[in-house]
Amino acid sequence: AGLQDAPAALRASAETASPQEWLTVIGLVLLNGAMYYTYLQFSWVILMRVSVVTHAVGNSMRRPVVLICNVLYFQNEISAVNAMGICLAFSGVVLYTRAKS
């Protein structure tokens, strides 16, 4: 069980998938592509309006925000190290904001 078994598992899933499941997967892939394209466009527009450092700091907050949403929505537990990392990321943004103003 691992990465080497992935092609066989995908092939088996593809053979047993119903047309409705195929349409769902194709729709989700297209939606994912459209959302990523939108994210890149917004990122480009924001980059044109703020400094590169500000953009990088804002962009680095994506992962902690996604982790927090994951914990809140799915009720997943996080380790103490993960919680400290999230707090460190938010602290860095607060310090950057204070230093900039």
Q: Which among 36, 85, 95, 32 is positioned nearest to 63, based on CA atoms?
A: 85
pLDDT, residue 2, reads 63
* pTM of the predicted model over 0.95: no
Q: Each residue's pLDDT tens digit in the chain (101 positions)?
A: 566 777 887 788 878 888 899 899 999 999 999 999 999 999 999 999 999 988 988 888 888 898 899 999 999 888 999 999 999 999 998 898 899 87
Contacts within 8 Å (CB) and 24+ apart, 86-90: 89/60, 89/61, 89/63, 89/64, 90/61, 90/64
Tokens 């195929």 sit at which residue?
Answer: 22
